Structure 1
Amino acid sequence: MLSSALLLSTRAGFAALRSNLLRTALSALGVIIGVGSIISVLALSDGFERSMRDQIEKDGRLQSVSIAPRTQDFVDGQPIPRKSYPTFTVADAGSLAGSLAESADLYMGASVPALVALAPGGNARGVALVATLANGAQRRRLSVLAGRFFSDSEVRDSLRVAVLSTPLAAALAGSGGALATLVGRQLLLNGEIWKVIGVMAADPESDSKEPRRLTLYVPFTSAREAIARSPRPPAPEMLLVARQVENVGAVRANAERWLAQRYPKWKEEVTVASYQQEGDQARTALILFKLLMGAITGVSLVVGGIGIMNVLLASVTERTREIGVRKATGARNKDVLAQFLAESVAIAGIGGVFGTVLGVAVAVAVAAVMRARTGAPIHAGFSLGTLAVAVAAPLVVGLVFGTYPALRAARLSPIEAIRHE
């Protein structure tokens, strides 16, 4: 009985809306604009967040935790070399990597200047000797042009194998020389014979910054003597790159626990640094931007709700006699209340549907314009939260701003309402 009465009231409300389509459309216009504004802002904000996340993960800095021995102290702003500090080994790297439980990738390396020449009789050239592990190419996002990068077994066995950067290979091959022919050749590194096993492809980003940088990649274990002979031997550093930005804090905490077990005085001898704070600040700023823009665009939704309330109040005044007749023939207060609430929710729902379509179209169009103008990989993003707002916002507006007109209609006296002209 209750459901049939509610159904009749709802039908009466929709019939009233159909009887004056222009008024219904104008009432829904404010909601259309409000919902469209909110959806477009949220979608663009989600797109910005996704783009920022992709850039962060591609760049890797905000996911990185560096672990470096503290080789010097500062007194009155002047660096003073430390007499003792930890020297990380491949065994250290393996131990720390084992404690990470695949939550991060570990890289290790050191760089020193060195002299290289093709054997026999080649001209010696100054290079940056990069001692790293077998995943060094992965860390630098390098691909192999010819040959291959060295393997874990070659690092473990301390084999004297080397991989050339494209600028170094071009310098050694000479004008017109094929870079691939260098694979298999012997190389003199600080007077000792090494074997070239690969040539790395050009890195546009790195080469644009340092086009003349000649780099030679060698296994970390094989370069210990070359590093030790350097006038200023560098302290090997380890770098942890979390596989997800959210895990940076946990990865850093794990590294500090490992250091505490391995090096009791690590707080005095090791520097652990990350960009976690910068990443948190960027995410906080984006959330604040989303909330601010949502609040600003939400004003238009409130204006749309006020428009619905005004139209319904006018409708109550115009249909006072009709309401009186309904109540005189058996309609209860809650039936009249349900009728006008149904009208309000229906208007807001119609506005929500068209507003969602408008918001999606605007977000996609604005993202396309921004991509065309800036070249940034920005796309509109539609999360479950955005869809929830698209559904909930119109319903809330309809209920909130339709309640007062509906109560006013429900409280009308049947006798006075019938007398109304």
Structure 2
Amino acid sequence: MFKQLRFAFAQALENIRANFFHTFLSILGIVIGVAALVAILSLIDGMEKYAKEQISSTTDLKNIMIRTETHQTINNIRIRKDSFAYLNYAAFSALRENMAEKATGFLFTQQNSGLSLQDKPEPLAAVVTGIAPNLPETEELAIGRKFLEADFNEKNKVAVVNHLLARQIGAHSDPNKLIGKSITFQGQDFNIVGVLKAGKAQAPTLFIPLIFIPETVLAQSPPTCLLEAKAVENVAKIKTETEAWLKQHYPKGKADFEVITNEFRVDQVSKGFLLFRIVMGLIVGISVLVGGIGVMNVLLISVTERTSEIGIRKALGANKKDIMRLFLSESITVSLFGSLLGLTFGVLGTMVFIPIIKAITKVPFQAAYTWNTLLVIMVIAILVGVVFGTYPAMKAARLDPVDAIRRE
């Protein structure tokens, strides 16, 4: 069987070589269609890759947010619940310890409040953020330190201020002046141990350990939990584990908490590009269809020109399957030949298009060549060869050997 197929494809290649220019013109539709398809798919893949990179850079896909649902909707009216569960520092620690997939993260709540500072009679105001177990890594220190585990265990009243609060206090030129000073919040004195560098914050902010925020305040302004997985692949599993833990430890876990991830953004982008890929593929497919008709035309001419040869083959013992195999092999070979030419021209075309796109858009965009694109091209080539080669092959196979030999 393998030897017969190899012989059939060898014959097909010989026929293409003998009528190269005629074959090339006949399959020009396939060449153009495949070239356009390769260019479009590679450009769309590049666009999708660029879009995902932009989403990843602006939205951390590894984040899982746990937020308390403080409101409910009744008759399309949103009202605040009388009571609801929330996470405190003890619950947050227990949640992290019970996770099979370890994740970093923090628990925080914010409120606007007045402050007072030693040796400064003017009133101060800031966003007071109770946080545990530490500030996020994105908050960089100008001087001092962040929170330590010992601060929570020993209940040390320490605080970190951002650059805007330091400026309000009047110590932005020399943050060292703030270290060791006491700042008062709701009657509690906190020792300033760190000052943050200038960042994206738009308001003066005071950070204190979450354990010093009274439970009455937490009940009114429930903390938000932000977990970060080590890899994007772990996000779904951590989300499932978190939802199961909340359901187990809180009677109304599902109703009182919302677990949010950013995976849907990537899904939305992927679905949008998939739709675009399908629509453009169908439009370009018209050229491939025209190319398939060209293949059928080549084979029908070949059947007419080789009628005597077919008759001799049948007279020498070739059956219908052998003749069918011969012409289908030739059809597939012609389609593959056209597809490979189209693939080459498509890749070369994108190499020309990319610099033009970059020059116009000023975007660091690159085409993406994937195995999926190559697989699509191979499948198209085989399908075109089989679909448009079947009728000519059947016509050749049905020829009567005696009548075929008599024809000139």
* Class of the TM-score when normalised by the shorter of the 2 chains: 0.7 to 0.9
1:189 paired with 2:184, answer: yes
Deviations 1:3-56 (A, max 9, x none): 555444433321211112212222343222333333333334433444444444
CA distance in 1 between counterparts of 2:233 and 2:276 reads: 20
Structure 2 residue runs without a partner (length 5+): none
CA distance in 1 between counterparts of 2:11 and 2:401 reads: 18
Q: Say if 2:71 and 2:78, in contact at 8 Å, map to a contact too.
A: yes
1:349 to 309, 330, 336: 336
Helix, strand or coil at the partner of 2:120: coil
The aligned runs of 1:4-403 (5 Å cut-off) are: 4-60=3-59, 65-71=64-70, 84-102=83-101, 104-116=103-115, 119-121=118-120, 123-138=122-137, 141-173=138-170, 177-179=173-175, 181-182=176-177, 184-190=179-185, 192-203=188-199, 206-207=200-201, 210=202, 213-221=203-211, 223-224=212-213, 234-241=221-228, 250-267=237-254, 270-274=256-260, 278-279=264-265, 280-328=267-315, 331-362=318-349, 373-374=360-361, 378-403=365-390
CA distance in 1 between counterparts of 2:386 and 2:75 reads: 68
* AA in 1 matched with 2:149: D
Partner residue in 2 for 1:415:
402
Helix, strand or coil at the partner of 1:380: coil
Q: Say if 1:56 and 1:63, in contact at 8 Å, map to a contact too.
A: no
Alpha carbons of 1:390 and 1:168: their partners in 2 closer, same or farther (altered >3 Å)?
Answer: farther
CA distance in 2 between counterparts of 1:157 and 1:372 reads: 60
Alpha carbons of 1:143 and 1:349: their partners in 2 closer, same or farther (altered >3 Å)?
Answer: farther
CA distance in 2 between counterparts of 1:327 and 1:82 reads: 87
* AA in 2 matched with 1:404: Y
Distance apart, 1:361 and its partner CA: 4.4
CA distance in 1 between counterparts of 2:120 and 2:272 reads: 59
Deviations 1:155-199 (A, max 9, x none): 443323333323333444557x144x3563424133654343333
CA RMSD of aligned residues (A): 3.7
Q: Say if 1:345 and 1:402, in contact at 8 Å, map to a contact too.
A: yes
Structure 1 residue runs without a partner (length 5+): none
Alpha carbons of 1:54 and 1:135: their partners in 2 closer, same or farther (altered >3 Å)?
Answer: farther
Helix, strand or coil at the partner of 2:136: helix
Alpha carbons of 1:3 and 1:374: their partners in 2 closer, same or farther (altered >3 Å)?
Answer: closer
Number of matched pairs: 406
Distance apart, 1:401 and its partner CA: 1.7
Q: Say if 2:66 and 2:260, in contact at 8 Å, map to a contact too.
A: no
* AA in 2 matched with 1:188: I
Q: Among the aligned pairs, what percent are the same residue?
A: 32
